[in-house]
Structure 1
């Protein structure tokens, strides 16, 4: 048995959401459970023996069951609405251990890549990127043209990027 879920969604989603709203759910929760209803049917369609099945009735039954499950969860563990300020107060701003390790590995590779560069290229890159000097300032410091200075800095970026692609 195969149902055209797109057609069923177009025809019944609004009614399912309305039925869930009548059961006391918020608009957002009703919309989420409506989506979950169709996902549930998509992932686990009714058995092959249901040849005379009414698809709309089946969808409404799945939605009702999801509503009951949702209300049970809410009784056990009620949700709390937080303002953005309250939410940001509980979020840990520290990066995860995995993110920290990844950043350290990238930094080590970047340092190694910089050490591989010729002295003038490395110096031009450091003055521009680390010391935040403009291209004209770096060019004047090194006694080069602005276009040659940009070529050195671009070469440094490309070299570092090539070393980081494996990570």
Structure 2
């Protein structure tokens, strides 16, 4: 078994220089050097390997090749710090959250204003995700009457939202 601490002290700089000569920037070379010793620590080193220095160089070379392959497959684009700060966040802004909550409160109040049968038909269809036929059967109404109730509910909700928007 190898003394990795001793190997690191003796060969880390040499491995780093080797990787820098292969064209890697200093940060990448440092990362690959560290990865080389992590691989040596976790890998089952063949018992026939008598030259740890050569083994470390081979691992570093393989890591360098793997990195080059990954970078060829994925296009990397450098973005300046100022431009990076301008990239939009996918999460909603606080203003949108407040706006949406206000609209939900309007919808909630408008649903409570609906007549009982209209409200139940709307909630069963829209919130309960029941089909028109299922709602009609449960409320003991025709499909046409059930659709009329649901349509009236939608109109009422749209009208309340429009009223609030015009204020």
TM-score, normalised by the number of residues in structure 2? 0.50
| Structure showing greater Rg | 2
So what's the TM-score if we normalise by structure 1?
Answer: 0.50
